[in-house]
Amino acid sequence: MADLETPSEEQLARLRSRAAPRRRSEVPKDVVKALKNGWIESKNLVEWLVVDRIHLLNRLSQECGWTLDTSDRNWMKSIQPLSSLKQSQEIGRWLPGHVTVGDDHYQHMVHHPSDIVREWSALLVGATPGLSFAKRLAWIKTQADDNNAGTRELAWLAIRPYVVEDPVDSVRRLVPWTGSRNERLRRFASEVTRPCGVWCAHVPLLKLEPEIGLPVLEPLRSDDSKYVSNSVANWLNDASKSQPAWVRKITELWLKASPTPETQRIVHRALRTIGR
């Protein structure tokens, strides 16, 4: 398969049906090639880490017809030593100079075969200046509901800085998501507002006053989705590290008001750091 030759549908079907590798050495060369050219999406973190993002960005530039100058090329070289996550974040910050949220190039990225490109579209929403938080939420909903778990994670990471900046308004605007029939959107509302979170900045106000997050948490206190309930439990566990008495009080109230197996499971996980 030539490097720039798009595989046939039969070849793509074979590649998509592959088993997920356990380590980098198990990723076949044809899969590495397909990943870096954006023909397929990564199966797991192992594959996500082997993607040559600079090569993929060059391919995307060709697809979209962007003209890259010397400064663009030098910038690409400068981010080469960074981790995969930091490369993607830098690319997200670079994209507003070439793509406008909502235009044809943006739509091309949102629906791209590569999960890496789709995550870039989410990071673009976060990096584009001048958008209100409400508009960012509206534009990032598709990526928040992506079939690829990695893209969903980058979606909430993309707008996390705005939650840190104004958690009160963010919680208010995320409340409608907690009533969605879609578990991915419900989980997004919880995960993006976690006081500590993972691989992201903490939210000082939510660590100090976790009760601000209750409008998001209360509707999810007996959620029947483990994907959602794990996030709610993790939210409370985050809060327990700075406000343990508050977490004990809330979990006691929840168990009385909603004595379901789902609530019990959330409370059990929420108290894993401080105990009952």
Residue whose pair of structure tokens reads 């343990």 in the numeric block:
244
- Round to whole Å and give the CA distance between 40 and 269: 36
Closest CA to 244 of 213, 273, 212: 273
Long-range contacts at 160-166 (CB < 8 A, ≥ 24 apart) = 160/126, 160/192, 160/197, 160/200, 160/201, 161/126, 161/201, 162/126, 162/133, 162/136, 163/192, 163/193, 163/203, 164/201, 164/202, 164/203, 164/204, 166/133
Among residues 212, 128, 119, 123, the alpha carbon closest in space to that of 164 is found at: 212
What tokens appear for 19 in the block? 């088993």
Considering only the top CATH level, what class is 166-276? Answer: mainly alpha
Q: What pLDDT, on the 0 to 100 scale, is given for residue 1? A: 41
Q: What is the mean pLDDT for each group of 10 consecutive residues in the chain (276 residues)? A: 71 92 94 96 96 97 95 96 96 96 97 98 97 97 97 97 97 98 98 90 96 98 97 97 96 96 96 86
Q: Annotate 5-59 with three-state secondary structure.
A: CCCCHHHHHHHHCCCCCCCHHHCCHHHHHHHHCCCCCCCCHHHHHHCCHHHHHHH
* Contact by Cβ (8 Å): 215, 176: no
pTM for the predicted model, two decimal places: 0.92
pLDDT at 45: 95
Domain ranges of the chain: 166-276
What local confidence, expressed as pLDDT, does residue 197 receive?
Answer: 76
Which amino acid is it at 189?
A
